[in-house]
Structure 1
Amino acid sequence: MTSARRLDGYTLEDWERLEPAEGHRVELVDGRFVVSAAPAVAHQRVADRLCRLLDDAVADGGMEAVTAVGVRVAPGLGYIPDVVVCTELVETTTVEVELVALAVEVVSPSTARRDRLEKPAAFAAAGVPAFWRVEVGREGGPVIYCYRLDQGVYVEVVTLQAGAPGTVDVPGGGTVTFDPADLIGSRRPRH
């Protein structure tokens, strides 16, 4: 880490100046750096495939979906969601939370509490219109919980179950229809 610890904690600027740590994700939580292991292959496969679906859904609206970009949520708070849909992207390492239309978290065992509780609360407080939580380790395949912001809190609008194609609205980008089961598993034929 290149920044010296301040008595009042690290800032978003300190977070942005960090050199990338190969094999790790570093988020800024309440002025502290929180380091997580890089996502497993199954986790990243789900995030990447979901990102492609979302990117295709929002392209006509001039929006873009990307994986693992830092989001400046609030002073002393910077998260790296697995996927974000943004109204505008600039060529930096982070985006302002006001540009995020949808944040997606693929729940990992090491970050489950943050992914299920802390991040949705912070994104809702910051006014992000939609949040999706993907539970990968479920029997039968992934389950995707899709939430919309309603009076400052997220309200579940649809739950997509593996094995049952479903349709969900993407803020500013129409709808996307898919089966969560298509987000997992290798596409290479086994010999």
Structure 2
Amino acid sequence: MTSALFPAARPLTESEFLALGETPERVELFDGGLHVTVAPGVLHQHVTGELKLALHRGAGQAGHHVLGAVNVRLRPGRITVPDLVVTTGLDFGELVVDSAAVRLVGEVLSPASATIDRVLKAHYYAAAGIPWYLLAEPDTGTLWLHTLAGGRYTEYASAEPGELLRLTDPVAVTIDPAELLPPG
């Protein structure tokens, strides 16, 4: 892509990517290439917000933080923007959270991102050594919690509305997926 913003048709370096600054779009760096998506829809944002609140209950007790839509460096040149993360100690002045500080990463699926979240990002997060991966499906209200084993994620637990998803690590919380969905 060649434009005033990207003057050369070549992969971007991490420093060039970070120099883009804040944008209204979700821009991620995948090994020199940009992955750009529009802001999530209302249902997606609602579920993300409720999930962050649910995880926040146990995060403080565990000495963790819950953040949404933050830059996460998986390795040099690979920066994603997950819907939410549970992290250990942070430097609040940094633009990027290093994956070594991330205990859980979460994605809320949408039609435009489902395949990337289930396949590509799952691979990237596992390769970065993030111990837990949480997926939420807003259309059905289903949650899937995956744990890292042997360099890849395996399903640890799942829950549909009316069932309970119990997490003990990295935070101790119990979530009924029905509580994440809008009323009505």
Common fold, TM-score beyond 0.5?
yes
Structure 1 residue runs of 4+, over 6 Å off? none
Q: CA deviation at 1:99?
A: 0.6
Using the alignment, how far apart are the partners of 1:135 and 1:169 within structure 2? 21
Q: Secondary structure in 2 aligned to 1:110?
A: coil
Letter in 2 for 1:145: W
Partner of 1:34: 35
Task: Provide Cα deviations, 1:72-121, integer angstroms capped at 9, x if missing partner.
Answer: 11232110000000012222221111110000000111111111101111
Q: Does 1:180 align with 2:177?
A: yes
Partner of 1:88: 89
**Residues 3 and 170 of structure 1, relative CA distance in 2, 3 Å threshold:** farther
Partner of 1:65: 66
Using the alignment, how far apart are the partners of 2:175 and 2:86 within structure 1? 17
**Residues 26 and 162 of structure 1, relative CA distance in 2, 3 Å threshold:** same
Using the alignment, how far apart are the partners of 1:128 and 1:39 within structure 2? 24
Letter in 1 for 2:35: V
Of 72-81 and 123-132, the range deviating more from structure 2? 72-81
* Contact map agreement 2:166 2:173 (CA 8 A) in 1: yes
Partner of 2:147: 148
Aligned pair partner of 2:131 in 107, 129, 132? 129
Partner of 1:20: 22
**Between Structure 1 and Structure 2, how many residues are aligned?**
180
TM-score, normalised on structure 2?
Answer: 0.91
Using the alignment, how far apart are the partners of 1:184 and 1:160 within structure 2? 13
Q: Any gaps of 5 or more consecutive residues in structure 2? A: none
Letter in 2 for 1:61: A
* Contact map agreement 2:143 2:165 (CA 8 A) in 1: no
Using the alignment, how far apart are the partners of 1:5 and 1:132 within structure 2? 37
